Amino acid sequence: MNLDHIALTLLIIIAPFSSAQAQSKHEAQLCKAAETNRIVELVYDKDASKGCLPRLVDVHQVAIGNNGKLYMHGWQNRGCTKGRDYASKRIFRFDKIKSVEIIDGDFNEKSQSVKAEGWDGCIGSNCFIKENICE
């Protein structure tokens, strides 16, 4: 076995663990936000490279998907979705979250209403959430 094969083998072994670690890195902070009705400033996926301000999200739930990945459900007050800044219900994959910071602020009326309705883990007929971790 040459050095290239060893490096490739190590990468294949380590990659799944680094993804899981990246997912769980924000879990405690996002659960705290969900349980205390807090707002987070969130840098997501390629937002920084698009020149977007950090998203402001009211965290409603953190859940595990059927695929084993972590997801956050909440109300986005400021964002960078498809080049537009608008308020809406959103689902965020943990593996695309770059940074999270809990900030001061209160859920607006629409966000409170959405959280009170709850979320069944479905988008239309596509149900992909296995279980809620916190809300």
- pTM across the whole model: 0.79
Domain boundaries, the chain: 3-134
Lowest mean pLDDT across 15-19, 47-51, 104-108, 119-123: 15-19
- The predicted structure's pLDDT at residue 77: 92
Max alpha carbon distance in the chain (Å)? 62
Mean pLDDT of the region 76-83: 80
The residue with greater pLDDT, 62 or 87, is 62
- The predicted structure's pLDDT at residue 100: 97
Measured at the CA of 84, the angle between CA 55 and CA 38, to 5 degrees, comes to 25
